[in-house]
Structure 1
Amino acid sequence: MALLSFKDGITSDPLGALSSWNHTLHFCNWNGITCGRRHQRVTVLNLSGQNLVGTLSPAISNLTFLREIHLQENSFNGQISQDIGRLFRLRYLNMSHNSLGGEIPSNLSTHCRDLQIINLGYNELIGKIPIQLSTLPKLFSLYLGPNLLTGSIPPQLGNVSALIYLFLGGNRLVRHIPDDLARISHLKWIVLSENLLSGTVPSSVYNNLSFLETFAVAVNQLHGTLPPSIGFSLPNLQYLLLGFNQFTGHIPNSLSNVSSLEWLGMSGNQFSGPVPENIGWGKNLLIFDLSYNYLGLGRADDLKFITSLTNCSNLNQLTIQRNHFGGLFPNSIANLSTHLEYLAIGRNQISGSIPSQIGNLINLKALGIYFTFITGSIPTSIGMLQNLQRLYMGNNSLSGKIPYNIGNITQLTALDLGSNNLQGSIPLSLANCTKLLTLRLSQNNLRGTIPKQIIGLSSLSIALYLSGNFFTGSLPSEVGNLKLLELLDVSQNKLSGEIPSTLANCNSMRELYMLGNAFRGNVLSVFTTLTSIEVLDLSDNNFSGTISKYLEGFKFLQYLNLSFNNFEGEVPKQGVFGNASAISVVGNDNLCGGIPELMLPACPVLAKGRRGKAHVSRVIILVASAVVCLIFLLCVPASLYWIRKSKKKPSSLSSMDGRHLKVSYAELFKATDGFSSANLIGTGSYGSVYKGILSRIENVVAVKVLNLHLRGASKSFIAECNALRNIRHRNLVKIITSCSSIDFGGNDFKALVLEFMPNGSLEKWLHSKLDGQHQLGSLNFIKRLNIAIDIASAVDYLHHHCHTPIAHCDLKPSNIFLDEDMNAHVGDFGLAKFYPRIIQSSSEDQSSTTGLKGTIGYIAPGNNFINFRHPVYSQ
Structure 2
Amino acid sequence: MGHTPNMGCYNYILTGLIPASIGNLSKLTNLFAQNAQLEGAIPASLGKPTNLVSLDLSMNHLNGSIPREILKLPLVSNVLSLSYNSLSGPLLPEVGSLGNINNLVLSGNQLSGEVPDSIGKCTVLQGLWLDDNLFEGTIPQSLNSLKGLSTLNLSMNRLYGSIPDGIGSINNLQELYLAHNNLSGQIPIVLENLTSLSELDLSFNNLNGEVPKEGIFKNLANMSITGNNDLCAVNLLIYKKLKQKQRSPFPPSIAEEQYDQISYHSLARGTDEFSEANLLGKGSFGAVYKCTFQDEGIIAAVKVFNLQISGSSRSFVAECQEFKGLVFEFMPNGSLNGWLHPESDTPAQTNTLSLEQRLDIAVDIVDALNYLHNHCEPPIVHCDLKPSNILLAEDMSARVGDFGICRIHPERASKTLQNSNSTTGIRGSIGNVAPDSLDLHKFSEDALPDRIWEIADATMWLHTDIHHNDRRSRIENCLVSVIALGISCSKKQIRERTPMQDAATEMHDIRDSYLKFVSSVCVEHREEQRSAVICRNSE
TM-score range, shorter chain: 0.5 to 0.7
Q: Cα offset for 1:357?
A: 12
Match of 1:200 in 2: 162
Match of 1:286 in 2: 255
Counterpart check, 1:383 vs 2:372: no
Match of 1:251 in 2: 211
Match of 2:304 in 1: none
Counterpart check, 1:76 vs 2:38: yes
Q: Choose between structure 1 and 2 for higher RCO, CA contacts under 8 A separated by at least 6 residues.
A: 2
SS at match of 2:365: helix
Between the aligned partners of 2:71 and 2:328, the Cα distance in structure 1 is 62
Match of 1:118 in 2: 80
Q: For each residue in 1:149-171, what CA deviation from the matched residue of structure 2 results, as whole angstroms up to 9, or x when unmatched?
A: 01101101111111111111111
Match of 1:214 in 2: 175
Q: Considering only aligned residues, what root-mean-square deviation do their CA atoms show, in Å?
A: 5.0
Counterpart check, 1:240 vs 2:191: no
Q: Cα offset for 1:286?
A: 2.0
Match of 1:264 in 2: 223
Between the aligned partners of 1:298 and 1:438, the Cα distance in structure 2 is 46
* Mapped contact 1:70–1:94 kept (Cα < 8 A): yes
Equivalent of residue 180 in structure 1, options 142, 147, 155: 142
Between the aligned partners of 1:438 and 1:416, the Cα distance in structure 2 is 21
Q: Cα offset for 1:54?
A: 2.3
Q: Cα offset for 1:109?
A: 4.3
Q: Aligned in 2, Cα 1:297/1:47: closer, same or farther, shift over 3 Å?
A: farther
Q: Cα offset for 1:120?
A: 0.5
* Match runs of 1:721-800 below 5 Å: none
* Mapped contact 2:290–2:299 kept (Cα < 8 A): no
Between the aligned partners of 1:51 and 1:289, the Cα distance in structure 2 is 46
* Mapped contact 2:197–2:216 kept (Cα < 8 A): no
TM-score normalised according to structure 2 size: 0.53
Between the aligned partners of 1:122 and 1:289, the Cα distance in structure 2 is 35
Q: Cα offset for 1:441?
A: 6.1
* Match runs of 1:816-827 below 5 Å: none
Q: Cα offset for 1:42?
A: 1.3
Between the aligned partners of 1:277 and 1:173, the Cα distance in structure 2 is 33
What residue identity is the alignment partner of 1:92? S
Between the aligned partners of 1:438 and 1:355, the Cα distance in structure 2 is 39
Match of 2:430 in 1: 444
Question: After the TM superposition, which of the residue ranges 268-277 and 392-401 deviates more from structure 2?
Answer: 392-401
Q: Aligned in 2, Cα 1:441/1:240: closer, same or farther, shift over 3 Å?
A: closer
* Mapped contact 1:296–1:324 kept (Cα < 8 A): no
Q: Cα offset for 1:382?
A: 0.6
Q: Aligned in 2, Cα 1:391/1:350: closer, same or farther, shift over 3 Å?
A: farther
What residue identity is the alignment partner of 2:174? E
Between the aligned partners of 1:417 and 1:137, the Cα distance in structure 2 is 51
Q: Cα offset for 1:227?
A: 3.1
* Mapped contact 2:240–2:257 kept (Cα < 8 A): no
SS at match of 1:212: coil
* Mapped contact 1:299–1:326 kept (Cα < 8 A): no
SS at match of 2:16: strand
Q: Aligned in 2, Cα 1:235/1:60: closer, same or farther, shift over 3 Å?
A: same
Q: Aligned in 2, Cα 1:266/1:125: closer, same or farther, shift over 3 Å?
A: same
Structure 1 unpaired stretches of 5+: 3-40, 304-321, 335-346, 360-376, 402-414, 420-432, 456-478, 486-875
Match of 1:49 in 2: 11
* Mapped contact 2:335–2:390 kept (Cα < 8 A): no
Q: Aligned in 2, Cα 1:194/1:276: closer, same or farther, shift over 3 Å?
A: closer
Q: For each residue in 1:682-735, what CA deviation from the matched residue of structure 2 results, as whole angstroms up to 9, or x when unmatched?
A: xxxxxxxxxxxxxxxxxxxxxxxxxxxxxxxxxxxxxxxxxxxxxxxxxxxxxx
Q: For each residue in 1:741-761, what CA deviation from the matched residue of structure 2 results, as whole angstroms up to 9, or x when unmatched?
A: xxxxxxxxxxxxxxxxxxxxx
Between the aligned partners of 2:439 and 2:53, the Cα distance in structure 1 is 72
What residue identity is the alignment partner of 1:230? L
Match of 1:223 in 2: 184
Between the aligned partners of 2:36 and 2:405, the Cα distance in structure 1 is 46
Match of 1:11 in 2: none
Counterpart check, 1:394 vs 2:384: yes
Q: Cα offset for 1:115?
A: 4.1
Q: Aligned in 2, Cα 1:397/1:198: closer, same or farther, shift over 3 Å?
A: farther
What residue identity is the alignment partner of 1:237? L
Match of 1:275 in 2: 235
* Match runs of 1:325-404 below 5 Å: 327-328=289-290, 379-380=361-362, 381-385=364-368, 386-389=370-373, 390-392=380-382, 394=384, 398=388
Equivalent of residue 23 in structure 2, options 44, 49, 61: 61
* Mapped contact 1:300–1:328 kept (Cα < 8 A): no
Match of 1:163 in 2: 125
* Mapped contact 1:267–1:289 kept (Cα < 8 A): no
Q: Cα offset for 1:418?
A: 8.1
* Mapped contact 1:300–1:327 kept (Cα < 8 A): no
**As a proportion of its length, which structure holds more helix?**
2
Match of 1:95 in 2: 57
SS at match of 2:113: coil
* Mapped contact 1:175–1:198 kept (Cα < 8 A): yes
Q: For each residue in 1:552-578, what CA deviation from the matched residue of structure 2 results, as whole angstroms up to 9, or x when unmatched?
A: xxxxxxxxxxxxxxxxxxxxxxxxxxx
Match of 1:855 in 2: none
Q: Aligned in 2, Cα 1:62/1:175: closer, same or farther, shift over 3 Å?
A: same
* Match runs of 1:259-658 below 5 Å: 263-269=222-228, 270-275=230-235, 286=255, 299=267, 327-328=289-290, 379-380=361-362, 381-385=364-368, 386-389=370-373, 390-392=380-382, 394=384, 398=388, 442-445=428-431, 450-451=440-441
Q: For each residue in 1:637-665, what CA deviation from the matched residue of structure 2 results, as whole angstroms up to 9, or x when unmatched?
A: xxxxxxxxxxxxxxxxxxxxxxxxxxxxx
What residue identity is the alignment partner of 2:81? N
SS at match of 2:214: helix
What residue identity is the alignment partner of 1:145? S
Q: Cα offset for 1:205?
A: 1.6
Match of 1:146 in 2: 108
What residue identity is the alignment partner of 1:211? N
Size of the alignment, in residue pairs? 343
Whose radius of gyration is greater, 1 or 2?
A: 1
Structure 2 unpaired stretches of 5+: 242-251, 272-283, 293-297, 302-323, 337-357, 374-379, 392-401, 407-416, 446-489, 497-539
Q: Cα offset for 1:114?
A: 4.0
Between the aligned partners of 1:481 and 1:284, the Cα distance in structure 2 is 31
SS at match of 1:78: strand
* Mapped contact 2:421–2:493 kept (Cα < 8 A): no
Between the aligned partners of 1:101 and 1:213, the Cα distance in structure 2 is 32
Percent identity over paired residues: 20
Q: Aligned in 2, Cα 1:284/1:379: closer, same or farther, shift over 3 Å?
A: closer
Q: Aligned in 2, Cα 1:444/1:146: closer, same or farther, shift over 3 Å?
A: same
Q: For each residue in 1:94-135, what CA deviation from the matched residue of structure 2 results, as whole angstroms up to 9, or x when unmatched?
A: 111111101111012445434441011111101111211211
What residue identity is the alignment partner of 1:244? F
Q: For each residue in 1:508-540, what CA deviation from the matched residue of structure 2 results, as whole angstroms up to 9, or x when unmatched?
A: xxxxxxxxxxxxxxxxxxxxxxxxxxxxxxxxx
TM-score normalised according to structure 1 size: 0.34
Q: Cα offset for 1:444?
A: 2.5
SS at match of 1:48: coil
Q: For each residue in 1:315-374, what CA deviation from the matched residue of structure 2 results, as whole angstroms up to 9, or x when unmatched?
A: xxxxxxx9989545999999xxxxxxxxxxxx9577998688999xxxxxxxxxxxxxxx
Q: For each residue in 1:251-283, what CA deviation from the matched residue of structure 2 results, as whole angstroms up to 9, or x when unmatched?
A: 211136878x862011100212323889999x9
Match of 1:550 in 2: none
Q: Cα offset for 1:60?
A: 1.7
SS at match of 1:139: coil
Q: For each residue in 1:373-418, what CA deviation from the matched residue of structure 2 results, as whole angstroms up to 9, or x when unmatched?
A: xxxx9953213344441341639992799xxxxxxxxxxxxx9998
What residue identity is the alignment partner of 1:267? T
SS at match of 2:144: helix
Between the aligned partners of 1:357 and 1:134, the Cα distance in structure 2 is 62
